[in-house]
Amino acid sequence: MIKAIFFDYDGVLTTDKTGSLTTSRYLSQATGIPFSAVKAAFSRYNKDLTLGKRTHSQIWHEVCSAMGQELGIGLLNEAFESTPMNAAMFSLARRLRENYSVGIITDNKKDRIDYLKQHQDLESLFNPIVVSAEVGANKESAKIFLHALHCAGVSAEESVFIDNSNDNLVAPSALGFKTIFHDDEKNDIEALLRNFKTLGVFAGDA
């Protein structure tokens, strides 16, 4: 019996494939700095940010130097706010919450998700919210998934994990999770519902 449904964040609960895309696009549009330059300035720090080894405030001066423009760090919060919520997926999560634990497992920066917890009121719907930067491990590792199971008080066999990258489904599948690939470009909620039906997950009325 399924007891918990875990969602990836970017590309599943949002309509952007990655958080890096969201942040770089906003900063580029807000400053006029080419998107490729913004993306390159952040890219060398992405792994450390995602694993919690560094924070945005710690790298901000270096990133600005790489972009060739000193910017106020407040722009970063504006970039976080620009994250486009996937309204249909949030609606589905609310319906699922009537019968299941509903959580998030995400490779993400702690300061970004902390900000979005408030801005998008994530904690009113999702528990637990498991972030790679807090666990110190990303979705290539079993560690982050085991931590999520512990927080939710369920077993892998009682859990479903949804992600927009097949690579991120390998570790949870090996642990015994039921896994579902969500194509972020199609954002096909009906296909997701069919997968749920196959797993015996009741998603409520649309």
- CA distance linking residue 103 with residue 2, whole number of Å: 13
Each residue of 107-137: pLDDT tens digit?
Answer: 999 999 999 999 999 999 999 999 999 999 9
φ, ψ at 159 (rounded to 5°): -125, 150
* 3-class SS string, the chain: CCCEEEECCCCCCECCCCHHHHHHHHHHHHHCCCHHHHHHHHHCCHHHHHCCCCCHHHHHHHHHHHHCCCCCCHHHHHHHHCCCECHHHHHHHHHHCCCCEEEEEECCCHHHHHHHHHHCCHHHCCCCEEEHHHHCCCCCCHHHHHHHHHHHCCCHHHEEEEECCHHHHHHHHHHCCEEEECCCCCCCHHHHHHHHHHHCCCCCCC
- The reported pLDDT for the residue numbered 204 is 78
- CA distance linking residue 29 with residue 81, whole number of Å: 14
- The reported pLDDT for the residue numbered 206 is 54
- The reported pLDDT for the residue numbered 86 is 98
In the predicted model, what is the mean pLDDT of residues 56-84? Answer: 97
CATH of 4-16+84-199, one of 3.20.20.80, 3.40.190.10, 3.40.50.1000, 3.30.360.10: 3.40.50.1000
Each residue of 163-191: pLDDT tens digit?
Answer: 999 999 999 999 999 999 999 999 999 99
State the CB neighbour count (10 A cutoff) for residue 170: 13
In the predicted model, what is the mean pLDDT of residues 145-163? Answer: 98
Q: Is the pLDDT of residue 77 over 70?
A: yes
